[in-house]
Amino acid sequence: MSIEQVVAALDSGMTIGIGGWGSRRKPMALVRAIVRSPLQDLTIISYGGADVGMLCAAGKVRKVVAPFVTLDTIPLEPHFRAARQAGTVEFAEYDEGMFMFGLLAAAHRLPFLPTPAGLGSDVLRMNPDLKTVRSPYGEEELVAVPPLTMDVALVHLNRADRRGNAQYLGPDPYFDDLYAKAAKKCFVSCERLVETEELLKEGPVQSLLINRSLVTGVVETPHGAHFTACEPDYPRDETFQKLYATTPWDEFYERFINSDEG
C-alpha cells in the first residue's frame, strides 16, 4: 500500500494504537500523513512520544491513553504537555505494567486481566473507572485492567514482505506484536520491503515479530521512523528532535510537515 491508502482507510473518531516506545521506532511517516489529513477526534493508545505530541499539536486528538509521553532524551514531550496544560485533550494515565496488561487483554479478547501494578498509587484515583477484584484463590486485591481495544494499529518495523510478515532488527521488540493482535486492523510501515526468504537472512526466526494473518496492509517507508530511533538502520536524530521540541508548532508544521524540507 501507499501512505495515502493507509490514511484513507482511517476515519475520524477512531481509536488508534501506535507502536514503538517513546522516541524509538515510531511510524512517523504515517503519523505525519495523519497530521496533514482531515482526521480528527481520535483516541490514541501509545507508549507515547512524538507521535502523540504531533497529533495533539495538530488538533487531531480527543483522548490519549498512555503510561507516559516522552522523547527519551527530552523527558517531557513538549507539545503533549502544552495540550494537557491547555485542557484540549483527555488523558488516561496508566502504570506501565497496567498498560501492558491492557494490551494483553485486548490481544487475547479478555474482559480484563488482573495485576498488582497500580495499587498504592494515584493511578486508581485519577482513573476512577478502573475496578479492583479479589483473587478467587485468596484475599489478594488486584487491579482489573480493561482491554485496550483499538480500531487500528500502526507499527513500524525494520523489514517486511508484501504479505505482512514483519521483522525487527533492533535491541527490543517493544510491544508491536500486541498492538497488531489487539486491533481490528493493523498497518505496518517498514524501512525496506523484501522477499519472504530474505527475512531469515536478515535475522533469526525470533525476529519475525508480526505474521501476515494480523496485517491488513504494508507500506515501505525508508527512514519512516525519523526522527525517532530505528536501530540498527539509524539512531535517533537528536539534532532534529531538539528542533522539534523548541520550534513553535505552526512554524514546525510549515517547514517540516507541510513541505518537503523535512
12-62: pLDDT as tens digits:
999 999 999 999 999 999 999 999 999 999 999 999 999 999 999 999 999
189 in Cβ contact with 164 (< 8 Å): no
Grid coordinates standing for 76?
517531557
Q: How far apart are CA 227 and CA 91, in angstroms?
A: 25
Residue ranges of the chain with per-residue pLDDT less than 50 = 262
Assigned CATH for 3-257: 3.40.1080.10
DSSP 180-194: HHHEEEEEEEEEEE-
**What does pTM read for this prediction?**
0.96
**Intra-chain end-to-end CA distance of the chain, in Å:** 22
Q: How many angstroms from the chain centroid is the CA of residue 3?
A: 17
Give the pLDDT score at 203.
Answer: 87
Q: How far apart are CA 214 and CA 70, in angstroms?
A: 28
* In the chain, where the domains are located: 3-257
